[in-house]
Amino acid sequence: MKTGITGATGRLGRLVVEKLKQRVKPDDLVALVRSPEKAADLGIAARAFDYTKPGILVEGLQGIEHLLLISASEVGKRKAQHQHIIEAAQKAGVKWIVYTSLLHADTSSLSSLAGEHSATEKLLEASGIPYTVLRNGWYTENYTDSIPGALKAGAFIGSAGDGKISWAAREDYAEAAVAVLCGEGHAGKVYELAGDEAHTLKDLAAEVSRQTGKDIPYRDMPEAEYAGVLISLGLPEDFARTVAGWDTGASRGDLFDNGKVLSGLIGRPTTSLSDVVKKALT
Closest CA to 99 of 136, 56, 60, 128: 136
Q: What is the reported pLDDT for 110?
A: 84
Q: What is the reported pLDDT for 74?
A: 79
Ordered per-residue pLDDT tens for the chain, 282 residues = 899 999 999 999 999 999 999 999 999 999 999 999 999 999 999 999 998 888 899 999 999 999 999 998 877 788 999 999 999 999 999 999 999 999 999 999 887 789 999 999 999 999 999 999 999 999 999 999 999 999 999 999 999 999 999 999 999 999 999 999 999 999 999 999 999 999 999 999 999 999 999 999 999 999 999 999 999 989 999 989 989 999 999 999 999 999 999 999 999 999 999 999 999 998
CB 17 within 8 A of CB 8: yes
Q: What is the reported pLDDT for 132?
A: 98
Instruction: Name the 3-class secondary structure at 101.
Output: strand
- Half-sphere exposure of residue 134, counting CA atoms within 13 Å on the CB side? 26
Please give the Cα distance from 191 to 204 (Å, whole number).
Answer: 26
CB 97 within 8 A of CB 69: yes
CB 32 within 8 A of CB 47: yes
Q: Which long-range contacts (CB under 8 A, 24 or more apart) does 18-23 make?
A: 18/174, 19/174, 19/175, 19/178, 20/178, 20/181, 20/182, 23/178, 23/182
Model confidence, pTM: 0.95
| Domains of the chain and any CATH numbers | 2-136 (3.40.50.720), 138-169+194-257+267-282 (3.90.25.10)
Q: Dihedrals φ, ψ of 74, to 5°? A: -90, 105
Q: What is the reported pLDDT for 1?
A: 87
Please give the Cα distance from 178 to 18 (Å, whole number).
Answer: 10
Q: Dihedrals φ, ψ of 61, to 5°? A: -95, 0
Closest CA to 75 of 110, 39, 99: 110
CB 41 within 8 A of CB 150: no
Closest CA to 216 of 274, 174, 157: 157
